[in-house]
Structure 1
Amino acid sequence: MAYFTRSCLLVAVCLCCATVLPAQGGNFNFLTGVYIEPECLNLHGTNFFVGTDVLASQERYVAYQKPPGDMPPDTQFFRRSIDIGNLSDLDIPDIDLGSLGIPPDLDVSLLLPLINLLRIDVYGRLRATESSESYLMVRVNEQDWFTFQGVIEPTDDFEWIAAPMQLPGLRLGVNTIDIAILQRGTQLDKVFLTLTGAVPSGKGGEAFNCGDFDFEPNLPPMAVARSEPTSGPAPLTVQLDGSDSFDDDGTIVSYAWSWEDGGSASGPTPMATFAAPGTYNVALTVTDDFNATDTDTVVVTVTDPAPEPTMNTFWLEAECATVGEAWETVLTEQASANQAVSATTTSRMAVPDDVPANRVRFAVPNAEAGMYSLFARVNAPDGLNDSYYVRINDGEWYSWSSGFPQGQGYRWKQYPDGPITLEGGTNFIDFAFREAGTELDKLHLNMTGEAPPVTSFGDVATNCDDQEDAATVFALEAECGIRGPGMGWQPYTAPTASNDKAMVYVGLRDKFEPVNPDPKRTLTFTIDVTVPTTYYGFVRLNAPDVGSNSFWLQVDGGDYILMGNELDGSALLTNGFEWRTLADAGTQVSFDLGVGPHTVTIVHRESNTRLDKLLFRATNTVPQGLGRAATNCTGGPPPVVTLPGGPELPALKTAQADAPEVSVYPNPTTAALTLDLTSGYAGRVVVRLTDFTGRQLRNLAFDKAGDQLRETLDVSDLAPGMYQLQLLEGDRMTVRQFVKQ
């Protein structure tokens, strides 16, 4: 009987202390378990921080932000106080002490010392981020610390880890539980205390200690994926663009792109290349500062590679061929592109050794198979300097030793050994030296037999940039730029200039950096980039002296570049028209250009600086000769811009046949605004709300599957005034205005 009574007394004590224990923040029940949120505790020390993650309970956790070293744990911990009151004052109606053999008049407070017999199981919901171990230390009532260590492989989610021993019993009154984090990268989400051995799962139950804390739930981000272009022949390089993605209540911390063949990229605007034909679903996943994600997809279609076009007419500069060491470059304005080549030794009796040093090799790529007439532009000073050895595709050498006009300067002459045969594809024409001093300027091949005018330079050569992607080269004739009205920039004829024309400013010099320059001082050019990358700039100019050797250049309204120095810092001076690298006061500059149109503006600085041509390319190589053929000339007179208010302004953009139908109503509105969009576009539509100055107030996104999108926008919080909605469908933007009353 005595044994039964002692057992019942113990059960009663357990029931009493586990049923209702008054505590800071409310009542808790150790039999069902107590959950504690560490972010709602009193953090002791300076090295803790509250992190955010949607995987955490309440989307928040506590972590240690730097390695502790040998710092004792009692200097960096967080604490929870538990106040166990006088049990004799508690209402415990469910316990019949009499049925347990306990006298009704027993002073229950005498049982309180037995509380120390209780042992509490502790669990922590943890995540390791920097190693495979996670360390905590725990103590009760400032007694000895014991290590709470778990081995956790770094994962995305949190997991529950049990303490290696039970906490010692509590005492009457205020009890403290201290937890110290001893491993950088350990993230503590939640603590669970229980007497029953219950094992927590998921995010656990509701914590009792956060009554005074009001955490706003995180709003997930919105991903908006775009590509420019979205289709083209393989290999296709595109500019991926996730910059319209947004997070209304935080920030986006990562942009992850992926597609079917295992390709991936990161960042808001990466470039991607698709080598093989196919349809690629390019997924953009954005992650916000709470680790919440959203995904949007853009489809990129890659078609079969375009067949390489064949050619049957070629213009080839000698200095841009493969020139052997036995040859030297001749600089003269009488030569095409101001350069020719000449041998430095003679071998009249026999063909020189067949080694690269002794010859000039011309590559003729993508040729249509057939018979070609060959012409050479040569300067033969006299009868002892007027010959070469020539061969086609490693065939027999032919001694071209007659027919060149002597002492008349550069002249075109047809190859006397008859038409030559070129195979389909790439062919080679070699010139080996026979007599030193014979200057070779240029070759021309055609299938018609028509000779170039005897003294002309011929057309722009195609071999100086033959290894470069044409989509990454923009050649601009200065005389075909858009010039402001009035007597400012004027074209003039120059036989050594590309297209026989250049531009010169007529007026006084102005060496001050431009601020809203007079339009007559400007030359404006537009280039439409399809391959986004870093571009380098070059200019072909004639800078005859230090008073006529400079100008200002600006790209897309950025900072002005002062072009007036060589790359070594000396004054820019040329011998006739020559190419120079674009540099700002002698320091080379480059331009990161994305997909779309870009504006290049030249502003005059010194009169009589003669501008012939601009060239922007993705390779940092100075052009040769006249450079690539320009694409900005239409054959008409140089265009002249008309100032606002003049008789006519050019149309900047033609109307699109599939322009969307957009309406917003009611307009004016007081609270709600309905947006109605009808178009053939399907995908994510970004809607930007701006005030009339262009300041962005909201950024919204909607998925449009069919022809129509209808959304109601709450604008009740806007101040009265005029606003704009900017609708982005792919690369097309439509703007509608509305009035908030």
Structure 2
Amino acid sequence: MKKLYTFCRITALSTLLFSGSLKSNGQYCITNLYLTGCTNNDYIRSFRTSGGMGDIMNPSTGCSNTTNGYTYYSALSHTTSVGNNVNFSIVNNPFNNENYYFYVDWNADGDFTDAGETITTGTVPAGDSVTGSFPVPPGTTLGTKRMRARFVFNPTTPVTACSQENYGEIEDYNLNIVAPAPPCNSPSNATVSNITGVTADMTWTAVPGAIGYEWAITTSPTPPSSGTGSVTGTAIGTNTLTPNTTYYFHLRTKCSGFNQSSGWVTKTFTTTSAPACTAPSNFKVNDVTTNSVQFSWSPSSTAISYEYAITTTTNPPTTGIPTTQLSASISLLNSATKYYVRVRSICSASTYSGWLLIPIFTHFSTSVNEVNNDYLNIYPSPASDKLTIESAQSADKAIIQLIDVSGRMVMEQGFGTSSTTLDISKLQPGIYILKYLQGPTVSIQRIVKQ
């Protein structure tokens, strides 16, 4: 079986317990701590601390020193101040149950024998971990102290920080005690102003030494665990509020210490009733081509942004394309097609004006006119009173339609045997679309009314 003792080894152990574990001249005991050490898998698997200005993270340490089972991780330190707690975690190896011991040399005299320097002891099952927390005592001097984590397998005599044991491992780390950070003061003169149904502005006075501020706007008076936003300045604004709602503006200071922040300051305010969300004005179409349209509008005093859309039906869309600009263009349209261009105001995250609508008719491509108009003769061009349409083929059951640039049909008339005349004297001057329809045959041409 593992770990059998002979009389000779017990005698040697007794001798070494007396001679090898002693320190001299204030030096920490680092030799003759184990006969076998951690070579039989009695090792500390990992060690870490938390809650400090700087923490220790030493995962998967394993049996780092097979010679005597001792390692001093001089480059790893936990930094904190008097009165703060040091949290630690020690993970055991997956093979053996171990007795654990944790020490701190508070007075830095090179030993762990003074009152209060044994922090905790106990047992930890194989593969398990032990966690603990201890405060830095009042009166502890600033500077570097030594921490010691120790594992011992199946001790038969009382264990100390320096006693020689048969199986186990020791890991030493630094504990830096520094002056406490200056207090992190809460912001003063926090004010909420310019409150409307959906907007509000927040300002406050700068805190000396602050590295920033955390804020949150909620409908609960209870401060949050963390902010929803952070800034380095002393003002913020929001435009996503809901009318007739009571809000709480929470604000706290972020300071340069480790995760250091002040207490929350909370200001309450209520948004006003929502003004009517007015639509943009001067909505107009600036240009139409065979496959595109450009349009613009003037701003609404209640809008924070706008949406626009283009459809081929009169049914208004549920959403559009958002923009903060006052103009837009849409391309890749079909030629000779009626569309409905729309724009509306967005006044809050859930408030919109009604849609404004302008019908348009995209222009006809040259290729369509050339193919479909070979058998038609339309004159005069431009025309003022009468417009004659002659067909080189039978026009039985043909129909003539005139459509203005908005897509509205302003005239429809049946065709004669081979020609017909339209009275356009009452139409407004401008460009019109003439459609000749006969069964599946469609001919399209632009005409000008003087």
Q: TM-score, normalised by structure 2?
A: 0.26
Bigger proportion of residues as helix: 1
Largest Rg, 1 or 2: 2
Normalised by the length of structure 1, the TM-score is 0.18
